[in-house]
Structure 1
Amino acid sequence: MTDKPALTYPVPVLHLPQKGVIVKIGTDEKERAALARTHGLEAVNAFDAEFLVTPWKRDGIRVRGKIAAEIVQACVVTLEPLINRIEEEVDTIFVPENSRLARIQLDESGEMLLDADGDDIPETFAGDRIDVGAVAEEFFELAIDPYPRKPGLPEETAPLTFGDDENKPESPFAKLAQLRDKT
């Protein structure tokens, strides 16, 4: 992903109502083209997101919702265009950048303490807005299949064969073993 997101939807978060605010993101042709270009896709046919932005704890913000998209990718085997659907759930927490909740926990030797099964460290934000468009784009990027394959193709490719064993090239390790045996 580039530094500048293709989608930008800043939401003011300093005075959110307790029940939150619903944010719906629909995209036009220009935004979908920018998404396709930014994420190396053939096309983005559709992209919609809906989030509920609510207060969390004292001064944090929780963003929950769903992203739905239809993308066109090139098959990694045949290079034919494939249409894939993305349905991604989003649930993330933001805290002001000076919050103690955003600090990484260190043990007594100064090493980071990470729990693979635990909650993620909250994201930080500065100012009075959170760009939910950038949040949507981040989760969209994570949901894209990096190796799309056309249905019906075998999962594994056959190993390369060189015909009979006589024409098979000799392994460089076999040559090293021969040198070692001569000494």
Structure 2
Amino acid sequence: MSNQTSLRVADLPQNTPTTFDLRPDARWLDVIKEDLGLLGLRKLSFVGELRAHGKRDWALTGKLGATVIQPCVVTLEPVTTRIDTAVSRMFLAEWSDPDEEEFEIPEGDDSEPLGAEIDPAQVMIEALSLALPQYPRKDGAELEQADYTEPGKQAMTDEDVKPFAGLASLRDAMKKDE
């Protein structure tokens, strides 16, 4: 579906920006929803422009908006979140892939290698994926304390593992003895 939005770099004008306005239809929304594991997706839009940056590089800037529904990490009930975020990407002709196996991309690095085409729809889906709440939680939902132990034994609580939990009561008992 996204190949309909691909822009051939060779066809892009150097002196004026190329604008785009993506508002996926219901079928496309369903595909994106399934790919991202969402319960619901609506009002998805990605509006922006692509412009030349120097002689061979291209800059994409846009505004992503969507309403997503995800399962709560505590209760699994639906959680609705509105996403409105700025998106930018630099497509570099001289981009080099790091040689190190465990190379870590610096935070905020928005550069990508420049290919024959730039696809704003792919950028939209990637940006939406990155903007999703990692741990959506329904208002007021909290994990309850879970106690695990062998049958017939007292379960250890969070208070038991705090190193100074019993010192206050010991101090109070010592003061009474004085």
Which amino acid in the other structure matches residue 67 of structure 1? L
1:27 and 2:24 matched:
yes
Name the CA shift for 1:17/1:102 in 2 (closer, same or farther; >3 Å): closer
**What is the one-letter code of the residue matched to 1:142?**
L
Q: Which amino acid aligns with 2:96?
A: R
| Cross-structure match for 2:83 | 86
Cα deviation, residue 51, structure 1: 1.4
Q: Residue in 1 aligned with 2:9?
A: 13
Compute the displacement of 1:114 (Å): 6.6
Q: Distance in 1 between matches of 2:101 and 2:31?
A: 40
Shift of residue 161, structure 1, vs aligned partner: 6.0
2:130 to 132, 139, 142: 142
Root-mean-square deviation (Å):
3.0
Structure 1 segments of 4+ aligned residues over 4 angstroms from their partners: 110-115
Deviation at 1:168, TM superposition (A): 3.4
- Residue equivalent to 2:147: 160
Shift of 1:18: 2.1
* Structure 2 residue aligned with 1:181: none
Residue 111 (structure 2) aligned to one of 114, 122, 131: 122
Verify the 8 A CA contact 1:32 1:46 in the aligned structure 2.
no
Structure 2 counterpart of 1:46, one-letter code: K
CA contact (8 A) 2:147 2:155 kept: no
Cα distance change of structure 1 residues 161 and 67 upon mapping to structure 2, 3 Å threshold: same
* CA distance in structure 1 between the partners assigned to 2:30 and 2:101 by the alignment: 43
Tell me how many residue pairs correspond in the alignment: 154
Change in 2 beyond 3 A, CA 1:113/1:92: same
Shift of the 71–18 alpha-carbon distance from structure 1 to 2, 3 Å rule, reads: same
Equivalent-residue separation in structure 2 for 1:31 and 1:46 (angstroms): 12
CA distance in 2: counterparts of 1:145 and 1:56, whole angstroms: 32
Letter in 2 for 1:72: I
Q: Cα 1:113–1:26, aligned 2, differ >3 Å: closer, same or farther?
A: closer
Q: Percent of pairs identical after alignment?
A: 22
What is the alpha-carbon distance in structure 2 between the residues aligned to residue 111 and residue 75 of structure 1?
A: 35
1:53 aligned partner: 50
Change (3 A) 1:150 1:55: same
| Counterpart residue type for residue 12 of structure 1 | R
Structure 1 runs not aligned, ≥5 long: 1-5, 171-183
Normalising by the residue count of structure 2, what TM-score does the alignment of the two structures yield?
0.73
